[in-house]
Amino acid sequence: MKIVQYGHPALERVAIPVKLPLPDEDKDLIKGMMRILSKRSKSSAGLAAPQVGVSKRVCIVRRFDLEDNDSIPIWDILINPKILEKSDTLSVEWEGCLSINNGELWGEVARPDFVKVEYYDESGNIHKVEAFGFQAHVYQHEIDHLDGILFLRYISDPSKLYTTEEMLKKISKKNSE
């Protein structure tokens, strides 16, 4: 299993819902996605099934809101997630994507600052979670993948896309002002 890149058809389609209880092939899909994330945990906020070429409504979201600075990553597996509520208030956060230039291209994206998300876990239990700020961006970014939407859609000017090095310089400069 590998991460597919921009232009792959699975990244442009609306993913199909997953049946519950999970069939073995979907359990294997989740295990494979977790293996990818465990290798890239320092640089990843999540992964959606279309990013590994599978058009199913499964994504994994890193719970930055539950981690402390020294903690190992905490991941939530979202099956058939949907956004129930969004705020009118927007926040701007840096976003990148493992399926765009291998995660080495970034842009500032404005999204609702709050979302309420409903999803099923691997056991078929339903959950609702509220997220704010950067965590809200993470949920929206991964759910967008399930709807065939890449963060590039929110960047109106391609000159506002930056390499990782350029982005880190911009952040450093902003923080020193």
Q: Which amino acid is at 15?
A: A
Rounded distance between C-alpha atoms, residue 170 and residue 174, angstroms: 6
Provide the annotated active-site residues.
142
Rounded distance between C-alpha atoms, residue 11 and residue 71, angstroms: 31
Could you tell me which of 99, 98, 56, 102 has the C-alpha nearest to residue 77? 56
The answer to the question of whether 141 is labelled as a binding residue is: yes
Cα 140 to Cα 22, 110, 115, 128: the distances in Å are: 23, 11, 8, 14
- 165 contact partners, CB below 8 Å, separation of at least 6: none
- State the binding site: 97, 141, 145
- State the binding site for Fe cation: 97, 141, 145
